[in-house]
Chains A and B, each alone.
Chain A
């Protein structure tokens, strides 16, 4: 990374010199519903402060994986640990932002953000997402993007160490989405939490993530580092190249079955630099 953009990083030692310790470790995780295996023998390590995007086609198990990480579902086998302890013991450090905002319509914005925490913390979190002025409004008075931001503030108020996002921006228009991307990136830099994001949007994945993991039939098909400085421009040709390669991998599977594109195990940034 060039020095000119170093201020954009979190105030932590650059991971290039001393890699951050592994925070989240999944070993041999299995999950099946009836006879249908959804996740099979999944191993995954995620480092402290890393942003990981999990992509894949519908039914690839990405949402199931996120629900396991959030403690909303239990694995049939394998172990999940967070900072050395079983995940379930430290679930308070983990917060999930759902696919829908899931605001309580009978609580004002402030009380929604203060769910399970002190109002002072909620007030600070609302200010961070730029909704300090709307704390006395009802959720029904907010736009879709504002509701998502309240949901984000609600998660932030708990000071999560691991923040999970389950396609939280799927229902938003393109403009609101990209401003949400900038907001999420800014909050990640300020708070330094580990971020795991499930998305079906490849461009969202490469914009936000340090690492993109492609799930296919419950297995990790591709684990790709996105080595681009932040903030990333959606028009950056390298980013576009990453996106194209990932898309090809995704659609290639659809076309020719699981074997197509199997030779690609990583995409060298050098090969796509223009």
Chain B
């Protein structure tokens, strides 16, 4: 074990001092920030479109005006200049025709009954006007229910259903944003979830560096010198722990910048309060298990490859495994407890990311299922370390060629 720490310390120092580590640590956040903010800059025209004021005339015959007004005023993003009018419809319509960005809504007893509100607009309207219009369905529907004589609790019940439909109706605009928003509102686990996912992502990436490290150890023929002082399992474990440290350092630097930045930019959510919850520990534990799984896989198979450029498709395929969870993201976002989510939780190479994502989205955790998935993941990590140990022991000393899957299988059986 002492030797393991020596190797870990060496690998850590060797990598952290490396220029490419320093560059990637400080460049990655810059690149991510660039990709987040560039689209906003490019879509500047959209923003200015939104900022243009929309003049909205409403002819209210039923008395929803106060509700509509409070609703519109409460929405900061809604640049509407609301005017309730009793003027003659024709004069208003002619004014609309002549001007830009104007609309006229007529809410009458008829429209309440039929559920169709007539909207007249000028030729030019702001881009998101028709989306924004959907907001009005709420007070109007509320009024509908009132007319039907429903009690308050009944209204609430039905209204809840309606708001769900509204969510679907806006799906075409930007599904992810809507769901994420609802997630942020609904689940207090979102912040620790996102942080854990970042940690998982970062340490699995450094886990991929182990593949190179093991392969390089072979290529540079250092392994035999090192193995004259310690056992292959010391060396392997040392590498896994060392690179874990490298990954953690990297992610702490990122989060050190990221969390204060996020706390400053996103005012709606109390980032720090939400982050430091007991659930974070569980998610971090899963992230660490995820790292161990991939690190073991990569150190084992890295030792079978001498020349990365000529490595076969087999080893190349393994490098794709960390991206397996991507397959599950879409289904999980739609339904965090759906079939795909459950399946993903039990596939070892997908489960760390899938579990953390689900935990982040769900307010109530299916403890039984998560517990089982956790056990499966832990067993997979244990098995993978054993398996890789066997591969590493033989592979690291095999010079001159890359091992074939058949050879590797033989080592595992031995």
> Do A and B make up one complex?
no
Spell out A's residues near B (CB within 8 Å).
none
Spell out B's residues near A (CB within 8 Å).
none
